Structure 1
Amino acid sequence: MPKTPEDLFAYLDSLDISVRTIKHPPLFTVADSQNLREDLDGGHTKNLFLKDKKDNFFLLTVEQNAVVDLKQIHHVIGASSRVSFGKPEALMELLGVIPGSVTAFGVINDTNGRVKMILDAALMEHDVINAHPLTNEATTAIARDDLIRFIEATGHEPVILKVSD
C-alpha cells in the first residue's frame, strides 16, 4: 500500500525536517501551477518518470520551466538506451503516485531502490524546492538540503546533474 501524504509528513517529522504545505485544487500541468508562485517562493518542480529498454527507471526532478532533451538525456543520466515515459502502472508500483502527482517525494514508496533519483543542477540552485506531497492537491516547500537528506534517508542517492537546457 503506497504511503499517504500524512505518512510522508510523519516521516519528514521523524527526520526533523520542517516543511510548509498549501492545499489547492488538483494541478495536472505546469501551467496549472503558475498561480502558486505568488504563495510559495523557491524552485517549483516538474518531474519526468522515465525508463530505458532494460527497465531501468529514472525520476528527473527539474524546474517547472526547464527544457529536457528526451532524445539525448539517456547519455547524461546513464541509461542503457534512449528513454521513454514509464507507464502509469510502473509509476504506481514504484513511486505510489498517479500521473499528475509525480514528485521527488515519491521515492518514499520505492523501498527496493529501483528508481534512480536525479535532481537538475539548475533547480538545486534554489534554497527552497516546491513539490507535490504525493498528491497534486497540495504543494510542499522544503529546504534544498532537507530534500537531499530526505532522499538519502529513503535509501536513494540523489544525483545532481545538469539535465535541462
Structure 2
Amino acid sequence: MPVTPSALHDYLKELGIEVKTHTHPPLFTVEDSQKLRGEIPGGHTKNLFLKDKKDQFFLVTVDEEAVVDLKTIHHIIGAASRVSFGKPEKLLEYLGVLPGSVTLFGVINDTGHNVRVIIDSELMQNDIINCHPLTNEATTSIRRDDLIQFLRSTGHEPQILAVSESAKASMAV
C-alpha cells in the first residue's frame, strides 16, 4: 500500500524538515500548474518516469519549463539504451503514484530501490523546490537541501546532472 500524503508529511516532520503545502484543484499538466504562478514561489518541477531496454528505471526531475532531449538523455543519465516512458503500472508499483502525480516524493514508496533519481542541475539553483506530495491536488514547497536530505533518507542518492538543454548550454560556457 503506497504511503499517503499525510504519512509523507509525518515522515518529513520526523526528519525535522519543514514544508509548506498548498492545496488546489487537480493539476495534470505543466500548463495547468502554471496558472498558480505567483501564489507559490520557487522552482516548479516536471518529472519524467523513464526506463531503458534493460528495465532500469529513472525519475528525471527538471524545471517545469526545461526542454529535455529524450533521444540523447540516455548518454547523460547512464541508461543502457535510449529511454522511453515507464508504464503506469510500474509507476504505481515503484513510486506509488498515478500519471499526473509523478513526484520526487514518490521515492518514499520505492523501498526496493528500483528507481534512480536524476535532478537537473538547473533546477537545483532554486532555494525552494515545489513537488506534488503524492497527489496532484497539492503542491509542497521544500528547501533544496531538505529535499536532498529526504531523498537520502529513503536510500536514494540523487544524481545532479545537466539534463535539460539550458543546463547543458550553461555548462558549455
Superposition TM-score tier, normalisation by shorter sequence: over 0.9
Question: Distance in 2 between the 1:124 and 1:160 partners?
Answer: 8
Give the stretch that moved more between structures: 30-39 or 62-71: 30-39
Percent identity over paired residues? 68
Secondary structure of the residue aligned to 1:67 is coil
Tell me the alpha carbon deviations over residues 59-103 of structure 1, each in whole angstroms, 9 at most, x when there is no partner.
Answer: 001000000000000000000000000000000000000000000
Residue ranges of structure 1 left out of the alignment (5+ in a row): none
TM-score (norm 2): 0.95
**For residues 8-47 of structure 1, what are the structure 2 equivalents within 5 Å?**
8-47=8-47
Superposed, which structure 2 residues align to 1:82-161 within 5 Å?
82-161=82-161
Structure 2 unmatched runs, 5+: 166-173
Paired with 2:82 and 2:57, the residues of 1 have a C-alpha distance of: 12
Moved over 3 A (4+): none
- The reply on whether 1:62 has 2:56 as its aligned counterpart is no
Matches within 5 A, 1:67-86: 67-86=67-86
Distance 2:111 2:37 in 1: 32
